[in-house]
A and B are shown apart, each in its own frame.
Chain A
Amino acid sequence: MANDHFSKGLPSTLTAPPFVDSWRRRALIAGLVFSAIAVILGYLGQAQNQLGWEHLLRGWLDGFVMCFGFCFGAMALLFVQYLSGGKWGLIVRRPLEAMTRTWPLVILMFLPVAYFGATLGHLYPWAQYADWAPALQKGLISHDMAHAIEWKAPMLNVKAYWMVSLLCFAIFAMYVIFLNRWSLKRDADPEPNVTYWRTRFENLSGFGVVLFSVLLFILAIYWVMSIDPTWYSTIYGFQYLVGEPFVVLPLAILTLIGLGKAEPIRSTFRKIEQHDLGKLCFALVMLNIYFAFGAFIIIWSGNSPEEIPWYLDRIRGNWGVIATLDVIFHWLIPFTLLLSRDLKRIQSRLSVTCCIMIFAGFWDMFWLIEPSFWDAARHLQLTWGILEYAAMPAALFSFWLVYYFQQLKARPLIATNDPHLAEILEHDYVHA
């Protein structure tokens, strides 16, 4: 074939370039700085309104849920790319695998949430007022709240919270271990054995993606939705299911663009796949707003007193500003930017868009969590404590990045035993 002299060989080195170490160092410094800021804000908040440590814990929850999303959202995306196939999956596979291998850190981050939040009841009213009758008499909780706590007790109790969460972690960790182990084994296989490996990964991923969707739904209810036990929504878990790839994919793109300054990614991350990943981001932007607006318009149309207060808590009392900005960050900006074909092919602009999308993920989590609490619902106060939602997630995310970059160095950045490898080694303009 005439094409042969245009295909590049596999880069001589497949490991991460040395500058990943400096990324890791910077992330570590950022993590320490933000932690210090978070502690200072905690003292300031405590002095201001006695809620400083409460806000620190809420900020921690925000950061934990985001890091969980980065870790296991990457797992979900790995499932999807094994099931759908395609060149885009090959190029993001190793960064995604590195993200999934951060799961021990994510479980560590979970422990304070579960202990202070559920066992000591600082986050969840169903844990704090598990004995609802005296609390109702003293007027600490409303009738609706007492009713919800009473009827939801079989699911919303401290023991179930711990057990379900840890069980889900165990199942997810098992999937992560298999995905990572088989991926190495596949590369070590002296024969390509394409069908064998594809079937194996498809079988793992096919059931995994269904199981993950169901379990994520339950976890989203436990960890975030149950802060307000009076409310329920059947699309809530799906919003997390889209929200996670919404931040994971931009992070994978940013990683590839960053690594693209050196081999092996420089010669393998082509414009075609970059464009494809940009298009996938665009699809996620649309799917995300579809779910978010769909949930809103159904509840708005129903206008039922059991459902609408959740949105009123998040719109009234200056929360409307946060909600409007959420739509702008989450949809308007990425949507208008990603419409452009050129933008998706220019690395500097695509990376700005990716940063905005990741920022939007954190912003949205703030809007989901904080108005659930009695002291903030329909009343956004600009206190020191609110700033915990910037400091604490930034600290946890930075520490998570340290671990992620370390894992990135642990393996070759390109999976070699894959039929798509030949394609990504071609030059950009050969389609045939």
Chain B
Amino acid sequence: MPLPEGLYGLMAEFDSATDLVHAAKAAYKAGYRRMDCYTPYAVEEAAEAIGFHRDEVSLVCLIGGVLGLVAMYGLETWIAVWAFPLNIAGRPYYSWPAFVVPAYEWTILWSGIAAAFGMLALCGLPKTYHPVFNAPNFRNGATTDKFFLCLESTDPKFAAEEARSFLEAQSPVSVVEVEY
């Protein structure tokens, strides 16, 4: 596959989360769909504003947790009942109260691991290259105190002139072109 060339998108820079959210809402209302917000910290409303409703991390986390629970509880039952039955103080081989604690620990462990790695995978990380870093103001501000909205050129509605005038109407600090 050849590397894509040309314009990746137009990026507007804002000074506050509120301005960004308003611009993002306006862009969604104007019909733009392929766009993304970049903020130095999580701004949930920005995600909502661009029509991103829910992520699958919680589902991945739940599946991980259930797998951990079943795995440990099954392991304990198998060992205590079939593989290596031991008479401990005359209790039944299948003593569920004693199985709860390790099963619970594995639920936590597996759901935590599933959530962490699932989040990375669903975010498409690790990623070695992303075009937005070609914008110099992005490199300086995205992790400190600036808020960015990028309209991507793959959007069917995207036309460079129109998109630029739209973004400039949102009173940004600046609007820059982002190359691939």
Which A residues lie at the B interface, using CB under 8 A? Answer: 1-3, 6, 293, 296-297, 300-301, 303, 339, 341, 428-432
B43 lies within 8 A of A431 (CB): yes
In the complex, are the beta carbons of B100 and A432 less than 8 A apart? no
B interface residues (Cβ-Cβ under 8 A, vs A): 15-19, 21, 41, 43-45, 58, 62, 89, 91, 97-98, 100-101
Q: Which of A6, A297, A303 contacts B100 (CB 8 A)?
A: A297
Known: A303-B89, A428-B45, A431-B41. A6 touches B18 (CB 8 A): yes
The contact of B16 among A1, A301, A428, by CB within 8 Å, is A1
Residue of B nearest to A426 (CB): B18
* Residues on B with beta carbons closer than 8 Å to the beta carbon of A300: 97
Check if B97 sits within 8 Å of A432, measured CB to CB. Answer: no
- Tell me the interface secondary structure of chain B in the complex: helix
Query: Which residue on chain B has the smallest CB distance to residue A290?
Result: B104
A341 vs B55: C-alpha distance when bound (angstroms):
12
- With A293-B100, A297-B101, A429-B44 given, name 20 new contacts (CB 8 A): A1-B16, A2-B15, A2-B19, A3-B16, A6-B18, A296-B97, A297-B100, A303-B89, A303-B91, A339-B62, A341-B58, A429-B17, A429-B18, A429-B43, A429-B45, A431-B41, A431-B43, A432-B16, A432-B17, A432-B18
Docked complex Cα distance between A403 and B18 (Å): 43
- The majority secondary structure among interface residues of chain A is helix
Task: State in angstroms the CA–CA spacing of A428 and B18 once bound together.
Answer: 11
**Residues from chain B with Cβ under 8 Å of A6 in the complex:** 18
Is the beta-carbon distance between A431 and B98 smaller than 8 angstroms?
no
Find the A residue at minimum CB distance from B91: A303
Kindly provide the distance from the CB of B45 to the nearest chain A CB, expressed in whole angstroms: 3
Q: Which residues of A contact B17 (CB under 8 A)?
A: 429-432
Q: Name 13 A/B residue pairs within 8 A (Cβ), A-sorted.
A: A2-B19, A296-B97, A297-B97, A297-B98, A297-B100, A297-B101, A300-B97, A339-B62, A429-B18, A429-B21, A429-B44, A430-B17, A432-B16
Going nearest first, the 5 A-B pairs with the smallest beta carbon separation are A429-B45, A2-B16, A300-B97, A432-B17, A430-B18
Task: Provide the bound-state CA to CA distance between A428 and B62, in Å.
Answer: 28
Complex: A320 Cα to B19 Cα, angstroms: 58
B100-A3 in contact (CB<8A): no
Residue of chain A at shortest CB distance from B88: A301
A6 CA to B45 CA in the complex, in Å?
Answer: 14
B89 neighbours in A (Cβ, 8 Å): 303
How far is B99's CA from A297's CA once the two chains are assembled, in angstroms? 10
